[in-house]
Amino acid sequence: MPGIDAADAAFVRELVYKRAAILLDEQKGYLIESRLQQLVHEGVSQSVAALVADARSGRGEASVRIVEAITTHETFFFRDVEPFEALKKTVLPLLLPPGAPPRKLTLWSAACSSGQEPYSIAMMLLEHFPAAVAAGARIIATDLSAQILAKAREGRFRQLEVNRGLPAAYLVKYFDSAGGWWTLKSKVRALVEFRQLNLLDRWQLEARPDVIFMRNVLIYFDAATKRALLERARQEIRPDGALFLGTAETTLNLTEGWSRVATPKSAYYRPRPPGAGGLP
Amino acid sequence: MKAMVVDDSRATRMILKRALSSQGFEVVEAADGRAALDELTKTGPVDLALVDWNMPVMTGYELICEVRARRELDRMAIMMVTTETEATQVQRALDAGANEYVMKPFTEDVLKEKLLLLGMGRE
């Protein structure tokens, strides 16, 4: 595989930091190279060097495509299992107490990539909380990349993708298969609303979310950006809401605006009242 | 935790055995459904069986039906690992009593993620 020029790699690092506040250290050279090579294979440009040259001169959509390609992360259904178990067994039963009229839930998947996370939540709601679905529950799914959102909206997955993390019972219940593709049924897709959103920009969510999945996102940002995102999430979420972070992520040493609630194998976070936040 | 790998391909058995061993399982092997059933009858149930569908002598589907019909073996978790990729086949396996289903080809990550769904393996 042809390499990437050191100056080009530095330009890409700066571009990704400016547009997405994502820090790529020197060790991430392989990531930059492999993602840009993928764009070349897709016919976006003749070579990695030509692609970076286009981005430098502002030609076409080269810089947008580069940022999207590098910030798109791997995902699969019910990733890590435990957050979805905690949502099902602890968080949603608290938000939907028996006997009370079901509230209209808003769940936000903040970096949804190709859609496996919001669709996992949607299937879980259909399976275990049909009254909440009937009451108008919806999942807002956002990502920086327009290209990955187009794939997510289709709700169509290859065999290898549905092999990953998806219970077989859900596969046969919520998907139709044809020609090697597995397509989510419309009742699952109807629960998820996809929107393009750069987390650094203004969040326009309309309804305050009851639950936020912001998993495997903070790890890419510097401490100041992590802190700012966690504070904005706290202002945005409903007072009795719950925030789920990735397995390797925490609010520790960033803000005291969230309290950690331990679950059998993991944790989620509840917002502390206004005034309790700030630096630890 | 004890697991059994049931597949007529020696190469596949080796791949699955290695993957399960790295997840902390003690692994035994069988080359077809009949051999698996004989071994289980002799030694008792394992915690988990990974079962291919198409095998000589006794298929994986027939093995699952036999295991689910025997009270002394019924507590085993069974994961089908097969080239059968039609939704109707997945449904048949689940109806017969399979707990999970992996379509070949697969990666070791796929197996680990399915084990988590069964509450097994290491995170």
Please report the ipTM that was assigned to this predicted complex: 0.92
Rounded to an integer, what distance in angstroms lies between the CA atom of residue A49 and that of residue B6?
50
Task: Answer whether residue B122 is part of any domain.
Answer: no
How many Å lie between the alpha carbon of A264 and the closest alpha carbon of chain B? Answer: 12
Provide, as residue numbers in chain B, all residues whose Cβ is less than 8 Å from the Cβ of A163: 102-103, 106, 110
- Assess if residue B55 is contained within a domain: yes
Average pLDDT, integer, range A145-154: 93
**Closest Cα of chain B to A137: distance in Å?**
25
A247 CA to centre of own chain: 14
**pLDDT higher than 70, residue A280:** no
Mean pLDDT (chain A, rounded): 91
Query: What CATH number is given to the structural domain containing B32?
Result: 3.40.50.2300
Q: Is residue B123 part of a domain?
A: no
Q: Please enumerate in sequence order all residues whose Cβ is within 8 A of that of B95, keeping only pairs 6 or more positions apart, or say none.
A: none
Judged by CB atoms closer than 8 Å, whether chains meet at A172 and B116 is answered as no
The answer to whether the Cβ–Cβ distance between B87 and A159 falls below 8 Å is: no
Range of the domain at B35: 2-117
Q: Report the DSSP pairing between strands A181-184 and A156-158.
A: antiparallel
Secondary structure element (H or E) that encloses residue B9, with its range? none
A8 band by pLDDT with thresholds 50, 70 and 90: very high
A81 lies within 8 A of chain B by CB: yes
Q: B94 vs A172: CB contact, 8 Å cut-off?
A: yes
For residue B12, being part of any structural domain is answered with yes
CB-based contact (8 Å) between A157 and chain B? no
Q: What is the pTM of this model?
A: 0.88
How many domains does chain B contain in total? 1
Position B100 in a domain: yes
Question: Quick check: B117 and A265 CB within 8 A?
Answer: no
What is the Cα–Cα distance from A242 to A251, expressed in whole angstroms?
A: 13
> Residue A143 pLDDT > 90, yes or no?
yes
- The answer to the question of residue B31 being in a domain is yes
Nearest chain B residue to A173 by CA: give it: B91
Measure in Å the smallest separation between the Cα of A199 and chain B Cα atoms: 29
Residue with tokens 């092999």: A163
Q: B90 or A24: whose pLDDT is higher? A: B90
Residues of chain A with C-beta less than 8 angstroms from the C-beta of B89: none
Assigned domain for B13 exists: yes
Q: Per residue in A160-199, pLDDT tens?
A: 899 999 999 999 999 999 988 999 999 999 999 999 999 9
Give pLDDT, residue A196.
95
Chain B residues with CB inside 8 Å of A177's CB?
Answer: 85-87
